[in-house]
Amino acid sequence: MDIPRYERLWLGIGIGTLLLFLLITGYMGFSMGLHPTDGMERTVEPEKVTRTPPFDNPGLERIGPNEYVLTSVSFVFGYDPKEVTVPAGAKVHFRVTSRDVIHGFYIPGTTVNMMVEPGHITKQTYTFDKPGKYLVLCHEYCGSGHHLMQGTIYVKG
């Protein structure tokens, strides 16, 4: 009987499995890091949205020289905040949830196009190089006022 050898085998398998696991999770983390824009993130209870940070205080937060996080809450039938202004070239990280039903968060003329689901935080990043007035439109039918649901982002040149 060669017990040490037997143990080494199992030790090897154990370490191999661990390394494989680390590789897989590392790779997933890496590939998800490359696409932070399509992510639905951690959950937030819809009925507690207005009391759950950061959504208890929606708005624009500056996090760099020309970089911002826009925390936005969708509801029937609008967005909170309704309007924000950023300088041209601003990189904006959108962080959006809904406090009631499914909404859309679509900015024509940009690549910003999100579905906003209650219970989820949807994220996307966009750099507003061109000054102008950008509408935020709901493109998921959400009820009688759906067509009235919009917000505005002003990009100052």
| Pick 46 or 104: Cβ nearer ligand CUA | 104
138 binds ligand CUA (CB under 6 A): yes
Q: Minimal distance in Å, beta carbon 24 to ligand CUA?
A: 38
The least distance separating ligand CUA from the CB of residue 100, rounded to whole angstroms, comes to: 9
- Residues numbered 42-71 forming contacts with ligand CUA, rule: CB under 6 A: none
30 tagged catalytic:
no
* Binders of ligand CUA in range 87-116 (CB under 6 A): 103-104
With CB under 6 A as the rule, give the number of residues binding ligand CUA. 9
Catalytic residue among 55, 75, 94, 105: 75
Element containing residue 72 per DSSP (H, E): strand 67-75
Look up tokens 């983390």; give the residue. Answer: 29
Interface segment toward ligand CUA; rule CB under 6 A; list 25-33, 80-88, 121-129, 137-145: 137-145
The yes or no reply on residue 86 touching ligand CUA (CB under 6 A) is no
- Tokens for 129, please give them: 């190089």
User: Quick one: 91 or 146, whose CB is closer to ligand CUA?
Assistant: 146
Torsion sign over Cα 17, 18, 24, 27: negative
77 is catalytic: yes
Report the Cα 49 to chain-centroid distance in Å: 15
Quickly count: other Cβ atoms within 10 Å of residue 33's Cβ.
9
Q: What residues contact 74, with CB distance under 8 A and at least 6 apart?
A: 96, 97, 98, 99, 103, 105, 116, 138, 149
Considering only 6, 21, 27, 141, the residue that binds ligand CUA (CB under 6 A) is 141
Distances (CA, A) of 79 to 43, 60, 96, 131, 148: 19, 13, 10, 21, 11
Active site residues: 75, 77
Residues found near ligand CUA in the complex (CB under 6 A): 77, 103-104, 138, 140-142, 146, 149
